[in-house]
Amino acid sequence: MYLFGASGHGKVVIDIVKSSIKDIEIEAVYDDNPKDKIIADLPVFKANATILDDVNLLWLISIGNNKFRKIVSEKIKGKFLKAIHHRAVIGIFSEIGEGTVVMANAVINSNAKIGKHCVINSGAIVEHDCVINDFSHISPNSALAGGVIIGEGTHIGIGACVIQGIKIGKWCTIGAGTVVIRDIPDGATVVGNPGRIIK
């Protein structure tokens, strides 16, 4: 398989693949603007149309930024895998979409539905019946109570909490440590306890 994205987030994805996916090896890492020739002992190359257009290749996008992850996903013609750290806890009735990465100590409970190309970061908790739409990022140690809906491309900041049954719109930013107690419209930036819309 191949990764796209040679950054700090890429290093974490490499670690997950190497420690948790035993039957697949990473051949190389590609990037639009590579700053280094090596990342975590893997060669880094500048992306080109030939490799991106090959429908037979297996990929993971190792970019933390939600918008860039979506842009890159539209360039790649191959198949996307998912990577789940062996120390994550996944409910047997949960669903996880292609291209999604689940990091160490994350918990995804019963009947949660995680979309494509999401990041469920270290120690994040996604409770029962949550719906996380494509290209979202649930940051380390954040917690979503039961039945929360997260719109496409939304970023839940480190240590944020969302009470049960809340709906957060598309492409929102929920700041670090924010406590969300009411629904949030598309495109909003929310901070504080209780969370308030500042943009």
145-199 pLDDT, tens digit per residue, is 999 999 999 999 999 999 999 999 999 999 999 999 999 999 999 999 999 999 9
Q: How many CA atoms lie within 13 A of 129 on its CB side?
A: 9
Q: Which residues have CB under 8 Å from 43's CB, separation 6+?
A: 28, 29, 37
Positions of CATH 3.40.50.20 in the chain: 2-80
Positions of CATH 2.160.10.10 in the chain: 83-191
Which of 9, 85, 128, 155 does the annotation list as catalytic? 128
Instruction: Please work out, in degrees rounded to the nearest 5, the angle formed at the alpha carbon of residue 5 by the alpha carbons of 20 and 151.
Output: 80
96 pLDDT exceeds 90?
yes
Tokens 């191949």: give the residue.
2
Please state which CATH number belongs to domain 83-191.
2.160.10.10
Q: According to the model, what pLDDT value does residue 35 have?
A: 86
Multiple choice CATH, 2-80, 3.10.20.30, 3.40.50.720, 3.40.50.20, 3.40.50.10470: 3.40.50.20
Examine the residue annotation and report whether 86 is marked as an active-site residue of this protein.
no
4 vs 54: CA distance, rounded Å: 14
Q: pLDDT for 2-25, tens place per residue?
A: 999 998 899 999 999 998 888 889
Q: According to the model, what pLDDT value does residue 113 have?
A: 98
Are 26 and 51 within 8 A, CB to CB? no
Instruction: Please work out, in degrees rounded to the nearest 5, the angle formed at the alpha carbon of residue 152 by the alpha carbons of 144 and 185.
Output: 75
- Taking alpha carbons only, the member of 36, 74, 75, 77 closest to residue 56 is 77
What does the radius of gyration of the chain's CA atoms come to, in whole angstroms? Answer: 17
Are 14 and 36 within 8 A, CB to CB? no
